[in-house]
Amino acid sequence: MSTVKLVAVFSENKPGQLERVTQLLAGSGINIQWVTIATSETFGVIKLLVDRCDAAFNLLKENGFTVSLIEVLAVEVQDQPGGLHTVAEALLRHHINMQNASGFVSNNRAVLLIEVKDLEQAKAAAVTAKLHLLSPEETLRL
Amino acid sequence: MFWDQEIETLPRPELEQLQLKRLRKTVRKVASETVFYRQKFAETGFKPSAIKSLADLRRLPFTTSADLRANYPDGLLIKGGHDLIRLHTSSGTTGKPKALFFSRKDIDQAAENIARCLTMTGLGKQDILQNMMTYGLFTGALMVHYGAEKLGLMVIPSGPGNSEKQLLLMQDFRTTAIHLTPSYALYFADFIEKRGVDPRKDLALRKAYIGAEPYTEETRRKIEAALGVEVYNCYGLSEMNGPGVAFECDAKQGMHVWEDNYLMEIIDPQTGEPVPDGQTGELVLTSLCREAMPILRYRTRDITAIIPGPCPCGRTHRRLQRITGRSDDMLIVRGANVYPQQIERILMSIPGLGRNYLICLEGLDEMIVKVELSDASFDGQVEHLVKLQSQITEKLRAEILVRPKVELVMPGSLPASEGKAKRVIDKRIL
């Protein structure tokens, strides 16, 4: 069972920063499946789920961006009432604190991307709770 | 190792005797042969015969950089009696520069002092010095060049900039020593790191002579680690024959001032009164050997202190602490006195930051400190960046007593300097 990698890009909070990132990726034919932007007052972090993660990482680095790869768990959530609750409850039972989480729905399948401190522990919790963790290949096929 | 052991270890009483003799000669000379000092002495009622001991130095009026500008081009020049072979100017950001004249003997003395400096750090004939300082009107590169040649090194006069070529020269000719500014050293360290060059494996560098801009102990350590060299601090100014006024020996505990060439005093910049050894103030220098253009009690504006007590190296010439700022670099922000070097020292001590920073003063006394993040420290967590930002803010506030606004910026996004770095931009509407 593998984790999913996100590309995180440091960005100063000024016009044109996201546009430079997306332009580079588009130019190399890298497909963005999902994006989230967290900002503070003067800077932010753009996180991207892309089809070619290592290529995106190298491309951005070569172009002077400060980038890093983050490993996250992609948990499939039943697209029905109580679906998210099942996941939240499993994490709570194992005292796992989410650092960041965000979700999306694609072709009637709901996915929750979870960043945790201890990836192994969270994986074990997910297995015990019979949650379905998506592999990188599965997330790309969504 | 000594270049001139006798003079470098001359017992203090003899050294002071020599200083007095040279001071009296210099004062008599400028009184009779320069327009500027003849007038200045007449205005202040000073008589050269008043100098009976070194303590009488205080009776002499100060000379300031404003005096040099006002008497541009040649009000301080001794006309005749020597071979005038060189003019340098010292940068004026506003108005006229300062014109500085050198006789053949002056240039030779500057080279002699540099030869002493390089020898005491352990450099010898077998070494290869890449001189990455600016050649031209600035004295920094040329005087070191002459001193190194005098010592018998091979000199590569590369000048600053063009890091690609610098690296090539360093690799192909096995450069062992470099002379450059701290900001260029940091830039160059970053440059070779990006190239994947490991200085300890791929280069033959042993020593770096770093000067022309004030820098901190933290910066020294950063440069030493990044370039795999021993860094020696050096100090000089064109008004006093250029570099080699003061230099660190192998003990690296302060810079020896060549006291047979220069009289040094530390004064309170506000009152002009001397302060005791060990106390911080403005450095005032009197040249004792300059022939074409002697300058008396020159207000350097550099803030430092004399280190009391002898040095383990055995030299009797006293030492100066690292320059901590310039009395005219001091910023007054919301009523507090702030030196850019204080900010640099804090920034260099915090892990996770890059090598460049910029202090911007804007609006009504607002201070913004922009600092580059280091590539390696970024883990994609915005929370960690926020924490780093507040840690910097707190540490700066504790040091300078003003709470700055701290902005983290991308590595390489601040204007990188290959010469003297501009670290402060003041756009306040006060």
Domains in chain B: boundaries: 1-328, 331-426
Which pLDDT value is given to residue B92? 54
Q: For domain A72-141, which architecture applies?
A: 2-Layer Sandwich (3.30)
Residues of A (42-61) whose Cβ lies below 8 Å from B? 42-45, 47
Predicted pLDDT at B91: 65
- Which range (A6-10, A82-86, B155-159, B259-263) has the least confidence? A82-86
Contact at CB, B382 and A69, closer than 8 angstroms: no
Mean pLDDT of B394-411: 91
Q: Which of A45, A66, A68 sits opposite B410 (nearest CB)?
A: A66
Burial class of B223 by CB neighbour count within 10 A (0 to 12, 13 to 18, 19+)? buried
pLDDT at A106 over 80: no
Query: Residue A20: CB partners within 8 Å, gap ≥ 6?
Result: none
| For residue B67, pLDDT beyond 60 | yes
Q: Which of A8, A10, A44 sits opposite B373 (nearest CB)?
A: A10
Q: Which residues of A touch B382 (CB under 8 A)?
A: 38-40, 44-45
pLDDT in tens, B259-272: 999 999 999 888 89
- Across the range B107-132, mean pLDDT stands at 97
- Where does B1-328 sit in CATH, by number? 3.40.50.12780
pLDDT at B418 over 60: no
Asked whether residue B93 carries a pLDDT value surpassing 80, the answer given is: no
CATH code of the domain occupying A4-70: 3.30.2130.10
pLDDT tier, B33 (very low <50, low <70, confident <90, very high otherwise): very high
Neighbours of A89 (CB within 10 A): 11
Question: What confidence score (pLDDT) does residue B417 get?
Answer: 59
Contact A68 B409 (CB under 8 A): no
Residues of A within 8 A of B411 (CB-CB) are 64, 66
Q: Do B375 and A40 touch (CB under 8 A)?
A: no
Residue found by looking up tokens 């002077």 in the block: A64
Please tell me the distance from the alpha carbon of residue B261 to that of residue A110, in angstroms, as a whole number. 80
Average pLDDT in the A4-31 region?
Answer: 91
What value does the mean pLDDT take over residues B242-250? 96
CATH 3.40.309.10 fits B331-426, yes or no: no
Closest CA to B57 of B12, B32, B20, B5: B20
Residue B229 Cα distances to A36, B113, B162, B223, B413, angstroms = 44, 23, 21, 8, 27
Name the band, by pLDDT with cuts 50, 70 and 90, for residue A121.
confident
CB contacts, 8 Å: B379 with chain A: 8, 68, 70
- Out of B379, B382, B412, the one facing A40 most closely (by C-beta) is B382
pLDDT computed for residue B68 by the predictor: 93
pLDDT for res B421:
62
Best of A6, A18, A42 to disrupt the B interface (most B CBs within 10 Å) is A42
Residue of A nearest to B406 (CA): A42
| pLDDT, position B372 | 92
Q: Is the pLDDT of residue B143 over 80?
A: yes
> What is residue A117's three-state secondary structure?
coil
pLDDT at B99 over 60: yes
Percent of chain B with pLDDT over 70: 97
Residue A107 in this model has a pLDDT that exceeds 80? no
Contacts of A70 in chain B (CB under 8 A): 379-381
Q: Chain B: which residues have CB within 8 Å of chain A?
A: 373, 375, 378-383, 385-386, 389, 405, 407-413
Would you say residue A1 has pLDDT above 70? no
DSSP, residue by residue, B280-340? -EEEEEEESS-SSS--SSEEEEEEE-EEPS--TT---S-EEPPP-EETTT-EEETTEEE-H
Q: Which residues of B touch A42 (CB under 8 A)?
A: 389, 405, 407-408
More confident residue, B395 or A84: B395
Same CATH topology for A4-70 and A72-141? no
Give residue limits of the domains in chain A.
Answer: 4-70, 72-141
Mean pLDDT score, A54-71: 93
User: What pLDDT does residue B335 have?
Assistant: 76
Inspect the interface and report whether the beta carbons of A64 and B385 lie closer than 8 Å: no
Q: What is the pLDDT of residue A99?
A: 77
Who among A10, A45, A70 is closest to B410 (CB)?
A10
Q: How many Cα atoms occupy the beta-carbon half-sphere of B105 within 13 Å?
A: 11
* Highest mean pLDDT, choosing among A134-138, B133-137, B144-148, B184-188: B144-148
Query: What pLDDT score does B419 carry?
Result: 53
CA atoms within 13 A on the CB side of B338: 27
pLDDT in tens, B304-325: 999 999 999 999 999 999 998 7
pLDDT band (50, 70, 90) for residue B228? very high
pLDDT band at A127 (very low <50, low <70, confident <90, very high): confident
Please give the structure tokens belonging to residue B176: 């062992």
3-state DSSP helix/strand/coil percent for chain A, to nearest 5? Answer: 35, 40, 25
The arithmetic mean of pLDDT across residues A110-135, rounded, is 85
